[in-house]
Structure 1
Amino acid sequence: MFQTSFKYYKSRNPVPTFEDVFVIGMKHPNLQPVQLNHIDGGHILGLHPTTEWKVYELSTRPGLLVLANPFTCEGQRYWMMRSLVNYPMYPNTTNRSNVNQSSRDTEHSWWEMLRSIPHLTERRKYAKLLRWATLGYQYDWTNKVYDEARKEPFPSELGALVRYVATVLGYDRFSPEAAIVNYYPIGSTLAGHTDHSEDDQNAPLFSFSFGQPAVFLIGGTTRDEEPDAILLRSGDIVIMTGASRQCYHAVPRICTDSELPEEMGRSAERWEKPDSFKEHCTDETWVDAQQYIQYSRININVRQVLRENQLTLQPSRLI
């Protein structure tokens, strides 16, 4: 059932309809409002006041929370730039890094290399080469484990963002310790999977979306259960808590505006206003970032690896 839905939403011909897709922020009986802890100070993280936030729990998937874009336009651009400029840099590992090489020139110049390519076609081709970067605990994709020996400092500003959102939602003891930043060109997918590599399987998982829209599937604990489909637009946040933390999920489609109903508006409207983060988003660099984001989605998913009061990974988690 899960794979059938995945293939349906992945299809290019025929193109799927979106009539059965949940849209965060639009009323639906299965999207139940969630109460929040209202906290000041989010503006420095690029967030609207929490009194304006809209958070829902998907009643068919207990524990699956969705937060409709709480970011200002300035905030969206700031986190996009962080994801493009800073997070692929050494010592973080990317899909293009040689994990056995510690040289600082391994991947830190990806953004500058991208910007230096004069021809747009070649630039777009090069942009597609970066698919993921890992922050904090570096994830071993081959063995599906984290390694205590390959633990880098978690970005302080991203940690502050996640802790703020977690506290507003009532998870004030959440500790951001690892993140995977996924870079999706239009046409790419993420196959169905569960996240089970963390020692703490009860802590929530926070997933931030920026750029082009995507269809997100969330099913049950086996692939036999038909999943629900959620449209994630730029700025939307998914929080997997409780039972949903063990559920299969996937991204079968990165969308373009032309595929979506007109009433949903243009994606770029969520980040196009002039911004106040000028030190990070100069006009020149933003032009390059905007060219990238026109054809891409960025997803930052943040996890707590260790159990509360646990100081290091258990031996079974070591490579």
Structure 2
Amino acid sequence: MSKEDSSMTAFRAAYVRFRRRPDQPDRWDDLSEMIDFGGQIDDDPRIRRLPSLSQEDVYQGPIFGLRDCPGFLYAPQALSTDLQHFLSYRALSVYCEKPHTTNIDLVPPKPQEIVNNIENNESQWDLWNKIVRNEDSTEKPKTSQSTKRTFYRNFDKLSWATLGHHYDWTSRTYPPEMSSPMAPELTDLSTFFARTAFQYSDASTNTSFSFAATASIVNFYNAKSNMGCHRDDGELAVDKPIVSVSMGRPAVFLLGGASKDDVPVPILVRAGDVMILGGASRLNYHSMARLLPFEGLPPVAESACPREPVGWAGLEPVSPEDMVFVNEFLSSHRINVNVRQVFPDSKV
């Protein structure tokens, strides 16, 4: 047995098995192993279908849990198409720009890179629009590779953005001086689903609900992206859930246990799904193994579709022109937005 094999944890072994293979980038050969909360789940003994809630201020659609993972909740197809489009547009045009922080900001621009000038329509969103227009144009500009200059901030480099309290990836803390405003729509949406999770918890019988959406990490995945095994333990309010929503390409999410030696459960995540890591599952290890193609995606079961997906009245709809560029991005990318409470209630 090699040193690598002897040190490989159960989580790592599963991650290697499910991650993207360059020779089979669009494979579906392991679909039968995945939990598909949006599919036909009646015969899957791992899944618990939870009773619907009747309160007006919580989610009332189909919601599921896992028998071996208390505190974990999954609401397939919970977000309306319009809300997915709105959040995607905001992620691409607002969440990834100042005063928020992205992975790009951690590395200074190279000499050949142009530092974006927002006043000159050089935001990442504006540049993406130009790229899509040029790709659709029959008169594409010819630029020599040797003289081509790229912009410092662009979607090709973008992996994540942070809002609210910004996480310091080196110190694994949330320094008080590092912050930006939370998007009100993310505060409203995450509070709505955190309240839903509270109603399913044992705590609802003897305590009152509280949740402060004070930090959000927005992940931007391309077809080759993945995220390794980790757990979200940098917050001081781990008694509060993490609310995670997805748009764009489907993906394979691996949900493990409290140890890397626990075998993770592979989950097929679709656009519009909402995942909640609360209770004992709040500190479970997890990862995103690979993106999946739209082609071959099993149809959504009618029993998993809410009668009225969540949508917020008053949100300005995305214009048809902007939707062209949103759809172009989502056709090859996945956007995941997760929201959490950083500090205990006494310090919020």
Normalising to structure 1: TM-score of the pair? 0.82
Sort the Cα spacing of 1:24 and 1:307 in 2 relative to 1 into closer, same or farther, 3 A. Answer: same
How many Å apart are 1:169 and its aligned residue?
2.8
2:92 to 74, 79, 84: 84
How many Å apart are 1:112 and its aligned residue?
1.2
| Distance of 1:131 and 1:163 partners within structure 2 | 25
SS of corresponding position for 2:198: coil
**What code does the residue aligned with 1:290 have?**
N
How many Å apart are 1:36 and its aligned residue?
4.9
**1:34·1:57 contact (CA, 8 Å) conserved in 2?**
yes
**What code does the residue aligned with 1:260 have?**
L
> What is the aligned-residue identity percentage?
29
**What code does the residue aligned with 2:180 have?**
E
| Between structures 1 and 2, the one with greater strand share | 1
| Distance of 1:161 and 1:37 partners within structure 2 | 17
Q: Which residue of 1 aligns with 2:265?
A: 228
How many Å apart are 1:254 and its aligned residue?
0.5
In the alignment, structure 1 segments of 5+ residues that lack a partner are 43-49, 266-275, 312-319
SS of corresponding position for 1:163: helix
Sort the Cα spacing of 1:94 and 1:283 in 2 relative to 1 into closer, same or farther, 3 A. Answer: same
Normalising to structure 2: TM-score of the pair? 0.76
Q: Deviations over 1:177-211 (max 9, x none)?
A: 10100000112100000111001121111111111
Q: Which residue of 1 aligns with 2:101?
A: 93
Alignment of 1:109 with 2:123, yes or no, is: yes
Sort the Cα spacing of 1:97 and 1:281 in 2 relative to 1 into closer, same or farther, 3 A. Answer: same
Residues 186-197 of structure 1: pairs in structure 2 closer than 5 A: 186-197=223-234
| Distance of 2:16 and 2:300 partners within structure 1 | 24
Larger CA deviation: 24-33 vs 139-148: 24-33
**What code does the residue aligned with 1:254 have?**
L
| Distance of 2:174 and 2:318 partners within structure 1 | 33
**What code does the residue aligned with 1:239 have?**
I
Measured on the aligned residues, the alpha-carbon RMSD in Å equals: 3.1
Alignment of 1:153 with 2:212, yes or no, is: no
**2:18·2:290 contact (CA, 8 Å) conserved in 1?**
yes
Q: Which residue of 2 aligns with 1:29?
A: 45
Residues 278-317 of structure 1: pairs in structure 2 closer than 5 A: 279-311=316-348
Q: Which residue of 2 aligns with 1:135?
A: 163
Residues 257-272 of structure 1: pairs in structure 2 closer than 5 A: 257-261=294-298, 263-264=299-300
**2:20·2:224 contact (CA, 8 Å) conserved in 1?**
no
| Distance of 2:246 and 2:214 partners within structure 1 | 19
| Distance of 1:2 and 1:168 partners within structure 2 | 29
**What code does the residue aligned with 1:10 have?**
R
2:16 to 7, 24, 39: 7
Sort the Cα spacing of 1:108 and 1:89 in 2 relative to 1 into closer, same or farther, 3 A. Answer: farther
| Distance of 1:100 and 1:198 partners within structure 2 | 28
| Distance of 1:238 and 1:72 partners within structure 2 | 15
Q: Deviations over 1:42-101 (max 9, x none)?
A: 8xxxxxxx44x1111111222211111212221111111111111112100011225899
Alignment of 1:18 with 2:26, yes or no, is: no
In the alignment, structure 2 segments of 5+ residues that lack a partner are 1-9, 110-115, 141-149, 200-208, 302-312
Q: Which structure has more RCO (C-alpha within 8 Å, separation ≥ 6)?
A: 2
Alignment length, in residue pairs? 292
How many Å apart are 1:104 and its aligned residue?
8.5
**What code does the residue aligned with 1:224 have?**
D
| Distance of 1:60 and 1:41 partners within structure 2 | 28
Q: Which residue of 1 aligns with 2:214?
A: 177
How many Å apart are 1:141 and its aligned residue?
1.6
Larger CA deviation: 162-171 vs 202-211: 162-171
Sort the Cα spacing of 1:36 and 1:308 in 2 relative to 1 into closer, same or farther, 3 A. Answer: farther
Q: Deviations over 1:117-169 (max 9, x none)?
A: 3433999xx53321110000011122221111112221112101111122233
